[in-house]
C-alpha cells in the first residue's frame, strides 16, 4: 500500500500548487465537483444555472453530499443520474429521496443485472417522491439547453458477469467542451463502445472504476485524448487503486491526473473555452478534516480501540464507526478525547473492558479483510484500519 501511495504522490505532485477554491464562488464554464469520500463516486455538474448530480456515494457519506449542496448554494437539483447499482454509487439515494431537496428528474440505465426492477435503487428513490424514473438507452440525450446536455454512450448490451460493465456512460457536451463520465466501466464495456465508434474526444475524463488496472485502456485513451483525468478513490479502502499501470497509461496519453484522495473536501474541474482546470476545494463553514486519530483492532477479543495520537483535544460529535464486511454503522456518543486518550468499542464477544458496546455477536470478520472506518459528522473518513486479513 505504501508503494501505491508513493506512486500516487509522484504522479500527482502538481496538486500541491493547486489554489484553494471558495466553494460558493460564481463559475464560468462547466464545473464538475467531485467529493473526497473514499472509493466512491458523488459528483455535482453545474452549467448555465443547472445542477445535476451524478451518483450519490455511500449511505454513510451522505452528510458529505448534503454539505456540498449547502456550500454550493444548491437548493434543488435539475436531475440525478445513477451510473449503476453498486452501493459506492447508489448508497446515498435513499437519504436524498427522503430529504427536502427538490429533484426534477431521476435517470438510470435501462440495462442492469442482478437486481429486481422493484428493488432497483433509482426506482425506489423516485417512488419515495411519487415520481418516475427516466430509463436511458444508448443514443438518448438529456438536454440542458439547445447547445449543451448529456449524451448516453453506454452500456450497449447487458453484462451478466460484472455490473460495473453495465455502467451508464455519459458524454457531457457544451460549447465549452466535452467531458466523458465513465462510471465504473471496465475494459469489456470500453471494448464494446469503441467497436461501436461511440467514444468521442473529450477534454475531461472521469476515469472508470476508480483507476483500477482493468479499466482505461490505451485504446480508450487514444479515442478520448483527455487533457485532464479525474480518479475518485482512496487507497486505504481499495489498495489497488489508483493502479500504477493506469496512472502510467494516462500520463503517456498526455493527461494531467488528479485523485480525489489528495484533495481536501472535493476536487473541482472546470471546463471553459475547451480548456480544463482543476482546483482543490475546501467548503466554507466546515472544519478541517481531523488528523491524528488512530484505530486498532484486537481480533482475539473483537475489540476496536480509537486513540487520539494528536497533541490537541478532539471532539467526536456526530462521528460513526463502519464495518465493511458487516456493512454496518455504529453512531458514537458525543465525547472528547484528550491527547493520548483512548476509547474502546467492544461486542458481545468481548471479554475485556470497553467504553461502548456494539450490540452484535461479533463485529470484525474472522477470516476475510474487514475495514474499520471512522466517519466524521460531515461524512468524511478521518481514520481507518483493517483486521489484518486479506481478501481470498
pLDDT at 3 over 50: no
What domains lie within the chain, and their CATH numbers?
2-282 (3.60.15.10), 293-386 (2.60.40.1260)
pLDDT tier at 390, thresholds 50, 70, 90 = confident
Q: How far is CA 229 from CA 207, 237, 273, 277, in A?
A: 6, 21, 18, 11
Cross-strand bridge partners of residue 205: 180, 229
Give the per-residue pLDDT at 392.
58
Euclidean distance between CA atoms 197 and 390, whole angstroms: 40
Per-residue pLDDT of 9-38, as tens digits, reads 333 333 333 433 344 444 589 999 999 999
Give the per-residue pLDDT at 99.
98
Per-residue pLDDT of 327-385, as tens digits, reads 999 999 999 999 999 999 999 999 999 999 999 999 999 999 999 999 999 999 999 99
Per-residue pLDDT of 195-220, as tens digits, reads 999 999 999 999 999 999 999 999 99
**Region 185-203 average pLDDT:** 98
Name the phi and psi angles at 251, rounded to 5. -65, -40
Cβ density class 313-345: b for 16+ within 10 Å, e for less: ebebeebbbbbbbeeeebebeeeebeeeeebbb
CA angle 358, 364, 369 (to 5 degrees): 150
**Region 87-108 average pLDDT:** 98
User: Which set of grid coordinates corresponds to residue 174?
Assistant: 457544451
Give the per-residue pLDDT at 14.
37
CB 265 within 8 A of CB 281: yes
pLDDT top residue among 302 and 26: 302
Closest CA to 303 of 367, 235, 387, 369: 387
CB 9 within 8 A of CB 32: no
Q: How far is CA 375 from CA 60, 97, 129, 329, 384, in A?
A: 8, 22, 28, 10, 9
Euclidean distance between CA atoms 314 and 333, whole angstroms: 13
| Residue 350 burial class via C-beta count within 10 angstroms: exposed 0-12, middle 13-18, buried 19 and up | buried
CA angle 179, 180, 186 (to 5 degrees): 160
Amino acid at each position: 500500500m505504501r508503494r501505491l501511495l508513493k506512486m500516487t504522490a509522484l504522479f500527482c505532485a502538481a496538486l500541491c500548487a493547486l489554489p484553494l477554491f471558495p466553494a460558493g464562488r460564481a463559475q464560468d464554464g462547466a464545473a464538475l465537483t467531485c467529493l473526497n469520500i473514499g472509493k466512491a463516486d458523488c459528483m455535482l455538474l453545474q452549467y448555465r444555472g443547472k445542477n445535476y448530480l451524478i451518483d450519490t456515494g455511500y449511505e454513510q457519506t451522505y452528510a458529505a453530499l448534503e454539505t456540498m449542496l449547502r456550500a454550493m448554494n444548491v437548493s434543488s437539483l435539475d436531475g440525478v443520474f445513477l451510473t449503476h447499482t453498486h452501493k459506492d454509487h447508489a448508497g446515498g439515494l435513499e437519504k436524498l429521496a427522503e430529504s427536502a431537496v427538490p429533484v426534477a428528474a431521476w435517470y438510470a440505465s435501462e440495462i442492469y443485472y442482478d437486481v429486481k426492477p422493484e428493488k432497483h435503487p433509482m426506482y425506489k428513490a423516485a417512488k419515495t417522491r411519487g415520481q418516475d424514473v427516466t430509463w436511458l438507452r444508448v443514443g438518448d440525450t438529456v438536454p440542458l439547453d439547445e447547445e449543451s446536455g448529456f449524451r448516453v454512450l453506454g452500456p450497449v448490451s447487458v453484462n451478466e458477469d460484472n455490473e460495473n460493465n453495465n455502467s451508464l456512460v455519459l458524454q457531457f457536451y457544451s460549447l465549452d467542451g466535452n467531458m466523458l463520465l465513465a462510471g465504473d466501466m471496465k475494459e469489456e464495456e470500453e471494448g464494446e463502445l469503441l467497436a461501436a465508434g461511440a467514444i468521442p474526444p473529450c477534454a475531461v475524463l472521469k476515469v472508470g472504476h476508480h483507476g483500477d488496472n482493468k479499466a482505461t485502456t490505451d485504446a480508450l485513451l487514444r479515442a478520448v485524448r483527455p487533457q485532464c483525468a479525474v480518479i475518485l478513490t482512496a487507497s486505504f479502502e481499495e489498495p489497488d487503486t489508483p493502479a500504477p499501470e493506469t496512472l502510467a497509461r494516462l500520463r503517456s496519453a498526455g493527461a494531467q491526473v488528479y485523485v480525489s484522495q489528495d484533495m481536501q473536501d472535493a476536487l473541482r474541474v472546470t471546463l471553459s473555452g475547451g480548456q480544463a482546470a482543476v482546483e482543490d476545494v475546501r467548503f466554507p463553514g466546515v472544519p478541517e478534516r481531523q488528523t491524528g486519530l488512530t484505530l486498532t483492532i484486537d481480533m482475539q477479543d473483537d475489540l476496536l480501540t480509537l486513540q487520539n495520537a494528536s497533541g490537541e483535544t478532539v471532539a467526536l460529535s456526530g462521528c460513526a464507526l463502519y464495518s465493511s464486511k458487516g456493512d454496518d454503522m455504529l453512531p458514537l456518543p458525543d465525547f472528547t478525547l484528550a491527547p493520548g486518550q483512548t476509547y474502546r468499542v467492544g461486542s458481545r464477544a468481548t471479554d475485556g473492558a470497553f467504553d461502548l458496546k456494539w450490540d452484535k455477536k461479533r463485529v470484525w470478520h474472522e477470516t476475510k479483510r474487514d475495514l474499520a472506518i471512522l466517519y466524521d459528522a460531515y461524512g468524511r473518513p478521518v481514520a481507518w484500519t483493517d483486521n489484518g486479513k486479506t481478501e481470498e
